[in-house]
Structure 1
Amino acid sequence: MSNQETVLTLPSGFTFDYTNLYGEGRVAQADVTAITDRLQSAHKAIEHMRATGEVRGHLSKDGVPEKVLFSQLPYVQDGNLNSPESISRLKEFGESLRNKVDAVITFGIGGSYLGNKVLFDVHCGEFWNSKGSEARQGYPKLFFSGNNIDPRRTVELIEQIKYEASSKLNGNSTRPYQVMLVVISKSGSTLDTMSTFMVAYDTLKQAAPTIEVQVVAVTDPIEGAQETLLHKLAAEESWPIFSVPDGVGGRFSVFSEVGLVTAACIGFDIDAFLAGARSMDEACKTEDIWHNPALLNAALKYLAAENYGRDIEVFMPYADYLKSVAEWYIQLLAESLGKRNDRTGREVYYGRTPIVAVGTTDMHAQTQQHQDGKHDKVVQFVQIASWYTDPVIPDAFPTAPKLSEIAALQLSQALNAAYEANAAALISDNRFNATFILPILGAFHLGELLYLLALSVAYEGELANVDAFDQPGVEAYKRLLGPKLKTLKSNN
């Protein structure tokens, strides 16, 4: 492949521009050629994962073989984790909230929060909860909790709900304020989620009859002897239950009911989202690295780190409402690839350190480090090609020549110029960067982007010979936390 052929565009219009990551003075053709056999092996391993759910050497945290099934999620069919019946149930659930439930509070941490926040931000934006019911098409307000054990914010959220309920009552409402608590935990013992959920549940229940509380549990679907604490509680309380599926780690769960429950609560286009993920998966079934965006992304980032010392990845979308994508990616990259040992047990201390940035915001905060700091970073930009709304900058102050210079430009033109200047400045000093370009910011292309990133870490795990689907480092603090909590309780 020549140095000019450094843009991969899919039929959907989704584009991976790796011009500033591959070529002379960057990751070279010789680097890619040198790992040809490993690239082929990685592709075969992912094909095998798709077909069987088996990943070489992968064990659950209990030390038993565990299937990896996230690649099944985009395909809605009988027998799959997402079936026509389960998707219909989600849509019916969403419809049941319209003009009936005033507010939803979703409780979750890790992938049970981060992926859901992405869907909310892209679909709803910052001001959803300030809009009236009609502007929200009857869907409820939505708040997030359980993603930190923060006393102040937990109390303030509860007080906000009570204030809104009181305001509605004073407005001569004929019914109580309806609050739905969606609690997401596979085990039901997640400290962050369950502690804040119980505080909110208990306090809001005491606010009856002004407030009526409903609860939905998203948890392990297994019943009987292996039933989880939350599943058992939900059955006893007759709460509706959605599934945290086996074989899908939290950081991959946005395509499952874990994320789609939130999608249903806000009217997000579930079908388009899964179709985008499915389209990306189909594009990545080729063994030709130059036409497989996930394999290509994984290979170039892997080589940039291993051969050129670029072991920090700055994920920098040029869109405010994609900041949560960068935060979601932090968990995906850190937990999937930050590994002490490879599959042979050899200490390798593998993985890039991920960093959240937003353009243009962090051009005024982080770019100094990106441009003049150590040559240890690869910057991954995300750009939106076309915006639904795009104001023209007016010549509001014609007596100020400096301001008149930017008049008549669309905001997107100024945004893109800033991105282009940043990317060009970085590569002029051998600072590696690449760009994902979404034709528009919507459910389909968001599905493409998130699935590309998820599949990329699966490929890179194969290239680095590490298990991309376990997280043994997380268990280290959990082993210490339990005894500490018991000691605190015994001293109270």
Structure 2
Amino acid sequence: MRYEDAAWREKQRIRLDVNNVFGTHGLTPAELEAEAPRAAAAIAAVQERRADLGWPLLPDQDVTPFEQFAAAHRDRIDTFVVLGIGGSALGNIAVQTAINGPFYNLLPREQRGWPRLLVLDNSDPELNAGALRMLDLRRTMFNVISKSGTTAETMASFLYFRQALVEAVGEDRLGDHIVLTTDPNSGFLRQIGQREGWTMFDLPPKVGGRFSVLTSVGLLSAAMTGVNIRELLAGAAYGRELAANPDPLRNPAALGALINYLCFRKGKPIVVMMPYANRLRDVADWFAQLWAESLGKAVDRQGKPARVGQTPVKALGATDQHSQVQLYMEGPYDKLINFIAVEQYAETAPIPTAYADLEGVSYLGGHTMAELIQAEQQATAIALSEAGQPNITHIFPEINAFTLGQFFMLMEMQTAIAGELYDINAFDQPGVEAGKINTYALLGRRGFEERRAAIAARAQALDSRWVV
């Protein structure tokens, strides 16, 4: 395997270029150097907690069960549907588009060779009903993902499609079309799986949803669509190695965490993730949840008010050069822009020569679309830097399972290190839980009657004059 070759792995190393973060409205090298000891302590703290956190150990897992399941079912299944939300969906989508490309689902079966992937991550009725209309349920498998089995959106979709399957294939055949991913020991979904006798994959209890792309959450759907999940995990292991470097100025995860932390402290509460590759656009979506849910916290570890965390913004190069970049250039100095650049695209798409007398068009001829988008990324980074807007660039040698797994681990380590710098718990999400509790109350779940009464009282107190 190519990922077993040390020279190949080194060539696939993702590099972090931070030169454009320095400037009047950015940082100085001296500021980074002054905070390096704190960042070094943060690296050590995360390394000490690796076993307790769980997700740093994921590159070492045995993936044979996922490969065997995919091999056993790939030929009889045309569409593999993931029912999940947040961390149970975003990573699946990111892996699919990054490795198989944005048009994979549209290819004829003989070209793709593996099932299509559909991820339904919303309780929007039109999304679910629309999916049902286009699916051949006899050749569809549903992967229901919920650690507790109480995720309202996921379980509602499960009940909706379960009934449709009963009508299409019969209740006695549901086990051929439903596979569960849930807590190994407890929870309502585990109870359902045991009652029905369905296949179940375990979710590591210590791993939170936004860190779960390299667990059964992401690996099963990746295996079902032909992704080399061993190479994905090999890349994650390499990213883990890079993120363990005790020197924070030579450690890309720690350096990224430190820059984001210092930029936030200097009045930059917004972080933009802008890949220059359509195949990586959903990686920006995955990053947004990881960063926002981990670092947006009201209190620190001592329970004191904190109110920290940058707001992540997703952008796509070169598309958003024609929308968001105007704001980045001439708007307030409140952002740190993260570019993702790709050195070698899988295809170059040569641009033909035509209209030699029209300089505004003819100059493109003889180049490739790969050269064009690379030039656009570099040009935008330079322009932003010259405008005083700090930016950094993550450089992918190419897009493959190894570099994708590497980036996942680097960003997860960056997030954990940033949590240490902020002195907050980066692994809970109390703000999300509040919304869940209100949903349970509004839908009449037993045990939430008191909260339902409080919501009703609040509704009665609202002033109708302010609904216009």
User: If the length of structure 2 is used for normalisation, what is the TM-score?
Assistant: 0.89
CA contact (8 A) 2:43 2:248 kept: no
The residue type paired with residue 97 of structure 1 is: H
The residue type paired with residue 26 of structure 1 is: G
Secondary structure at 1:26's aligned position in 2? Answer: coil
CA contact (8 A) 1:158 1:204 kept: no
Give the aligned partner of residue 119 of structure 2.
144
> Unmatched 5+ residue regions in structure 2?
1-8, 453-468
Rounded to whole Å, the distance in 1 between the matches of 2:286 and 2:273 is 10
The more displaced of 482-491 and 382-391 is 482-491
Give the aligned partner of residue 178 of structure 2.
215
1:453-487: CA deviation from partner (whole Å, max 9, x where unpaired): 11001001101101111111111212222110108
Give the aligned partner of residue 186 of structure 1.
147
1:350-403: CA deviation from partner (whole Å, max 9, x where unpaired): 010100000001111101110111100000000111011111111244464422
1:232-281: CA deviation from partner (whole Å, max 9, x where unpaired): 11111121111111110111000111110111110101111111110111
Q: Identify the structure with the greater helix proportion.
A: 2
Match of 2:419 among 452, 455, 461: 461
1:135-193: CA deviation from partner (whole Å, max 9, x where unpaired): 122x1122111x1111111111110014xx7xxxxxxxxxxx32111100001111111
Secondary structure at 2:207's aligned position in 1? Answer: coil
Secondary structure at 1:89's aligned position in 2? Answer: helix
Rounded to whole Å, the distance in 2 between the matches of 1:208 and 1:192 is 24
1:12-47: CA deviation from partner (whole Å, max 9, x where unpaired): 332111110146763223212332432232122112
Rounded to whole Å, the distance in 1 between the matches of 2:152 and 2:205 is 20
Rounded to whole Å, the distance in 2 between the matches of 1:377 and 1:403 is 34
Number of equivalences: 438
Rounded to whole Å, the distance in 2 between the matches of 1:25 and 1:487 is 51
CA contact (8 A) 2:98 2:400 kept: yes
CA contact (8 A) 1:22 1:300 kept: no
Give the aligned partner of residue 69 of structure 1.
54
The more displaced of 211-220 and 448-457 is 211-220
1:423-477: CA deviation from partner (whole Å, max 9, x where unpaired): 1111112101000011111000011111111100100110110111111111121
User: If the length of structure 1 is used for normalisation, what is the TM-score?
Assistant: 0.85
Deviation of 1:342 after TM superposition, in Å, equals 0.7
Rounded to whole Å, the distance in 1 between the matches of 2:275 and 2:434 is 33
Q: Answer yes or no: is 1:264 the counterpart of 2:223.
A: yes
> Unmatched 5+ residue regions in structure 1?
1-8, 54-67, 76-81, 166-176
Deviation of 1:410 after TM superposition, in Å, equals 0.6
Give the aligned partner of residue 298 of structure 1.
257
CA contact (8 A) 1:114 1:324 kept: yes
CA contact (8 A) 1:384 1:440 kept: yes
The more displaced of 402-411 and 333-342 is 402-411
Secondary structure at 2:378's aligned position in 1? Answer: helix
Match of 1:478 among 413, 431, 436: 436
Rounded to whole Å, the distance in 2 between the matches of 1:153 and 1:257 is 25
- With over 3 angstroms needed to count, the CA separation of the structure-2 counterparts of 1:482 and 1:473, relative to structure 1, is same
The residue type paired with residue 35 of structure 2 is: I
Match of 2:200 among 233, 238, 241: 241
Q: Answer yes or no: is 1:198 the counterpart of 2:139.
A: no
CA contact (8 A) 1:23 1:29 kept: no
Rounded to whole Å, the distance in 2 between the matches of 1:27 and 1:320 is 30
Secondary structure at 2:139's aligned position in 1? Answer: strand
Q: Answer yes or no: is 1:410 the counterpart of 2:368.
A: yes
The residue type paired with residue 112 of structure 1 is: S
CA contact (8 A) 2:36 2:249 kept: no
Deviation of 1:11 after TM superposition, in Å, equals 5.5
1:100-133: CA deviation from partner (whole Å, max 9, x where unpaired): 2121111010011000001111122222222222
Give the aligned partner of residue 123 of structure 1.
99
Rounded to whole Å, the distance in 2 between the matches of 1:356 and 1:40 is 29
Give the aligned partner of residue 456 of structure 2.
none
The residue type paired with residue 117 of structure 2 is: L
CA contact (8 A) 2:147 2:182 kept: yes
Secondary structure at 2:76's aligned position in 1? Answer: coil
CA contact (8 A) 2:12 2:396 kept: no
The residue type paired with residue 156 of structure 2 is: S
Q: Answer yes or no: is 1:276 the counterpart of 2:235.
A: yes
Secondary structure at 1:74's aligned position in 2? Answer: helix
Match of 1:432 among 390, 394, 403: 390
Q: Answer yes or no: is 1:229 the counterpart of 2:229.
A: no
For residues 30-429 of structure 1, the aligned pairs below 5 Å read 30-50=30-50, 52-53=51-52, 68-75=53-60, 82=61, 84=62, 87-137=63-113, 139-145=114-120, 147-162=121-136, 177-208=138-169, 214-222=177-185, 227-306=186-265, 308-398=266-356, 400-429=358-387
